Structure 1
Amino acid sequence: MEFDNETQLQAFATALADKLVPGDVLLLDGDLGAGKTSFTKGLAVGLGINDPIKSPTFTIVREYQDGRLPLYHMDIYRLEDGGAEDLGLEEYFEGDGVSVVEWPEFLRSALPETYVLIHFLKDDHDDDKRTLTFEAVGERAQQLIADLH
């Protein structure tokens, strides 16, 4: 899917939020500035969360509880040398909310059983454009991807 600007990207994420159920996990893969946190802001709007969404780079996990579903926003970048397995992230992944993970390549063996991996790609010629591609692992993730099309 292609998006011409941040507004379109956030609108898509807002619409996607309506389809999410407890235990859904979205893994966001992309370079710095690719739109991962902006996407998460759109999800939060769609979930009815009014708190400002900030990147959890230094806290690893930020919890937002005031929406239709809780939102667990994770940034695993600081765990590039390991340690994600020791954080108990499965409690979030299997919990009552939606988990969004930036830099999922550092999860390694802590990956959940089912998830949607979203790849963010910035356009080389237009800094506002983004292309998102989706990979589904597990039955629920496949259903969610099918609902997007």
Structure 2
Amino acid sequence: MRIEIHSIEETREFARKIAKLIENHPLVITLDGDLGAGKTTWTKELGKALGVKNVINSPTFTILKSYKQGNGQPFHHIDAYRLEGISQDLGFEDCFDEGICVIEWSHFIEDQLPEDRLCISIEEGMDENRVITMEGRGWFSNQIVEAYHD
């Protein structure tokens, strides 16, 4: 599915709509795009819409930051940028099995990702314009894509 975004507010609306579709369900979301495409901005809004009270910022140096959603479930934010070339199992399975897990630069840990995941790619355009591609890779994530379209 391809979605055109023309402002930061539309990016926030996209995140809020996804939050409504996934709340109370464990899900891994891969979030890819170039530096400055808006991955962390989108993640902040998703977390806020899911009831995360803490300030969400990029875990570039820590790799993983964990928060609590409003329902008490975990909200994990992984930045895999610094994991390029690392082939060992990093133990992310617990993050993938509970709550929501958003992974930026997911292609660096592709072999560790669960099969069922929502894949979102953000392509930066002029000014605040973005093209978002969203794909489900499994039963539940496909349901999210279909529900978003309706």
Residues 141/66 of structure 1: CA separation in 2 closer, same or farther (3 Å cut): closer
| Structure 1: unaligned runs, 5 residues or longer | none
Post-superposition offset of 1:22: 3.2
The one of 28, 48, 53 aligned to 2:51: 48
The one of 19, 25, 29 aligned to 1:26: 29
Task: Quote the residue 2:76 is aligned against.
Answer: 72
The one of 111, 114, 129 aligned to 2:113: 111
- Give the distance between the partners of 1:35 and 1:13, measured in 2 at CA: 11
Task: Quote the residue 1:141 is aligned against.
Answer: 141
- Give the distance between the partners of 2:8 and 2:32, measured in 1 at CA: 17
- Give the distance between the partners of 2:34 and 2:127, measured in 1 at CA: 13
The one of 37, 42, 45 aligned to 2:40: 37
Percent identity at matched positions?
Answer: 39
Post-superposition offset of 1:74: 0.4
CA contact (8 A) 1:12 1:42 kept: no
CA contact (8 A) 2:122 2:132 kept: yes
Q: What is the TM-score normalised by the length of structure 1?
A: 0.92
Q: What is the TM-score normalised by the length of structure 2?
A: 0.91
Post-superposition offset of 1:55: 0.3
CA contact (8 A) 1:114 1:138 kept: yes
Aligned residue-pair number: 145
**1:89-113 CA-partner distances (Å, limit 9, x unpaired):** 1111112x10000001001310112
Report the RMSD for the aligned CA atoms in angstroms: 1.3
| Structure 2: unaligned runs, 5 residues or longer | none
Task: Quote the residue 2:60 is aligned against.
Answer: 57
CA contact (8 A) 2:47 2:69 kept: no
CA contact (8 A) 1:93 1:99 kept: yes
Amino acid at match of 2:94: E
